[in-house]
Amino acid sequence: MKSLGTLFRILAIVLTNVMCGVVGFHYGKMVWGVENAGYSAPASTALLLSIPYLIGIAVCVVLAFVFRTEKQTSAEKHKV
């Protein structure tokens, strides 16, 4: 179970980095579009792309916590 907890912690960190990159890219693209291409939507709509990433990060953090506490309780049960 330790490896699953570690896996979900690493996945949460990777998702935060990917989210920052994707949202930053689309925000910059929207700013350019508003200034040069005549987009009517504000650039802040690019921030809506962070919602699925935030849900995924929250799920990974919860699962990492669950596997961590499960590991601790199983270690206490097997302690002699």
Tokens of 79: 């302690």
The pTM of the full predicted model, rounded to 2 decimals, is: 0.83
User: What is residue 47's predicted lDDT score, i.e. its pLDDT?
Assistant: 96
Query: Which domain, by its residues, includes 12?
Result: 2-77
Report helix angle 50-77 to 2-32, nearest 10.
170
Q: Confirm if 61 and 15 have CB atoms less than 8 A apart.
A: no
Tokens of 21: 């990159």
Low-confidence ranges of the chain (pLDDT < 50): none
Number of structural domains the chain divides into: 1
